[in-house]
Amino acid sequence: MVQLLKFLRPYITTVAIVLILLFFQSLGELYLPTLMSDIVDKGIVNGDTPYILKIGGLMLLVALGGTICSITATFLSSKTAAAFSRDLRGKVFSRVETYSLHEFDKIGTASLITRTTNDINQVQQVMIMGLRMMVSAPMMCIGGIIMAVSKDAKLSLIFVVVIPALAALIFSVARKALPLFKVMQGKLDKLNLVLRENLIGIRVIRAFNRVDHEKKRFNDANRDLTENAIRVNKIIAAIMPMMMLVMNFTTIAIIWFGSVRIDNGNMQVGDMMAFIQYAMQIMFSLIMVSMMFVMVPRASASAVRINEVLDMVPEIVDADEIKEMDRKKGFVEFRNVNFYYPGAEQPALQDITFHVGPGEITAIIGGTGSGKSTLINLITRFYDVNAGSILVDGVDVREMSQESLRAKIGLVPQKAVLFTGTVADNIRYGKESASDEEIRRAAETAQAMEFISGMENGFESILAQGGNNVSGGQKQRLAIARALVRRPEIYIFDDSFSALDFKTDAKLRAALKRETKEATLLIVAQRVSTVIDADRIIVLDDGKIVGMGNHKELLKGCMVYREIVTSQLSEEEIA
């Protein structure tokens, strides 16, 4: 929690103003009972009406001043806390943006969402309360004690019993509630996870008639969270009545002992009335502190989760010294690359060595799980190799900036991801400054023109929720157009033609060949027809290269390739 306070730095002036305002408000509140006791002891007892009116007027003024201070302080503290959480959300978001895929896997998407929203809200709420109480509670408590002692030191001995009793009460409640609060955020994560999976997988859930199963899963997570919340709230709900009980007993004790002292002539009635009010103020300040005790643990559980995100050091960062790149363009070289996913016993890639250059089409083929996507993810540096090195344009990818590396690459991922916006916006994602003509040309090459012109508003048609209103093949073609508009040195197509029919696939590849003559093309594919014309085909099996060459060479020399080909093409086609 303390770690997060640094985000308050830009608002330090406002925070200081809030604290000063609250100081004056508390001062006013401490002054009021004394004024009231004066009215009783001097005004009423002596029948001095002008005195009563004068002090009564002063009381009104003090109360008004206090109210103005309080309202302004509340306004400013709420504004500051909102700005604080806006900044913090921004910070968390930009941190997450620097994560490599490892870190994403570690925390999980659902939890990252909860941490950026709900957890920050918890901290914000405590911030508002904390700002107010930081000054009010100690002032009211200590000031109240001083004032009470000044009114009647002997009667103040009551506090020697009351305050430790209240403190013990608060402490025991906090000890019970704290672990439950910690668990609460975890349960919220779980609920978010189920919800997220359900929303994304709604089609699968319906198709497999798993609605009831998913309902149960959601209800379980929901019930779990609710039960925990009820348990916590029960404890918190018990605080108030217990506090009130202590307060009422204290009042009784003050009146009891006070009246004895008044009887003996040691105390005046007004002083006793003021004393009761000071006792109330002291106890209310303790209640405020107890509320903090309740809220701070929950917020600190949230703060820990936020700090976890902020403190997680991304595994993939730019090197301290960025190497200048040669003037070469479009060269990719793997040198004895080994790669393990964290926790995996077997390497996903083993001893991979090959190089490709501009003007070449290299296809990567292999069974599912053979490591094709992994190999691609290493070029874009989504992961770092465990051994060996990958050079792009003659420089190790770990020694160049991630930005300049990725500027060279146009990636079409296996699963086409689009963003809410127009068709043109989505293609322009590849190159912000792209002209309408460039966008049209990219769409033409990607064989997307036909369906785009068939849409009601053409390039200005809106893609709902990341492209839910276009087909899988259309999505893929838009993702291809997005990469093409960039005109990168290296194109990477990760199984990007799989959702296309054979005719479109062939047309697209022919158009690509024309458009990307100077560039390096890496095409991951499952279909032999997609790779057959490639200059070089790399055959992967179980993370190892088992063959490299063109179609004819591999047919002769690579068993695995021959098996893939015979499983897909007829004898005549092979011949």
For the purposes of burial, counting CB atoms within 10 Å of the CB of 224, is it exposed (0-12), middle (13-18) or buried (19 or more)? Answer: middle
Q: Identify whether the C-beta of residue 329 lies closer than 8 Å to the C-beta of residue 358.
A: yes
Pick the closer one to ligand ATP by CB: 66 or 371: 371
DSSP H or E run through 387 = strand 387-392
Pick the closer one to ligand ATP by CB: 57 or 369: 369
Tell me, residue by residue from 431 to 460, as one string, x for binding to ligand ATP by CB under 6 A and - for no binding. Answer: ------------------------------
CA distances from 446 to 48, 201, 330, 526, 565 (A): 95, 28, 21, 19, 26
Pick the closer one to ligand ATP by CB: 77 or 370: 370
517 phi, psi to nearest 5 deg: -55, -40
Pick the closer one to ligand ATP by CB: 25 or 380: 380
CA distances from 333 to 339, 379, 411 (A): 15, 9, 17
CB of 496 to ligand ATP, least distance (A): 12
d(CA 287, CA 118): 26
For ligand ATP, which residue of 368, 433, 567, 570 counts as binding (CB under 6 A)? 368
The stretch near ligand ATP (CB under 6 A) out of 16-24, 363-371, 427-435, 545-553 is 363-371
Tell me, residue by residue from 389 to 428, as one string, x for binding to ligand ATP by CB under 6 A and - for no binding. Answer: -------------------------x--------------
CB of 480 to ligand ATP, least distance (A): 18
Pick the closer one to ligand ATP by CB: 353 or 469: 353
Pick the closer one to ligand ATP by CB: 348 or 564: 348
Pick the closer one to ligand ATP by CB: 103 or 119: 103
Q: Total residues contacting ligand ATP (rule CB under 6 A)? A: 12
The stretch near ligand ATP (CB under 6 A) out of 216-224, 289-297, 367-375, 458-466 is 367-375
- For strand 490-494 and strand 409-412, is the pairing parallel, antiparallel, or unpaired? parallel
Residue 405: CB atoms within 10 A of its CB come to 22
d(CA 270, CA 261): 13
CA angle at 506 for the pair 486 and 379, rounded to the nearest 5°: 40
Pick the closer one to ligand ATP by CB: 366 or 410: 366
Pick the closer one to ligand ATP by CB: 43 or 371: 371
- Interface with ligand ATP in residues 326-355 (CB under 6 A): 341, 344, 348
Q: Identify whether the C-beta of residue 250 lies closer than 8 Å to the C-beta of residue 158.
A: yes
Q: Identify whether the C-beta of residue 78 lies closer than 8 Å to the C-beta of residue 16.
A: no
For ligand ATP, which residue of 28, 43, 347, 366 counts as binding (CB under 6 A)? 366
Tell me, residue by residue from 290 to 329, as one string, x for binding to ligand ATP by CB under 6 A and - for no binding. Answer: ----------------------------------------
CB of 126 to ligand ATP, least distance (A): 36
CB of 445 to ligand ATP, least distance (A): 25
CB of 548 to ligand ATP, least distance (A): 16
d(CA 454, CA 209): 34
Look at residue 497 and give its three-state secondary structure. Answer: coil
CB of 350 to ligand ATP, least distance (A): 11
- Interface with ligand ATP in residues 369-388 (CB under 6 A): 369-374
d(CA 408, CA 330): 8
CA distances from 306 to 34, 88, 100, 249 (A): 46, 9, 18, 43
d(CA 101, CA 379): 14
Pick the closer one to ligand ATP by CB: 98 or 498: 498
CB of 352 to ligand ATP, least distance (A): 12
d(CA 35, CA 58): 8
**By the criterion CB under 6 A, which residues form the site for ligand ATP?**
341, 344, 348, 366, 368-374, 414
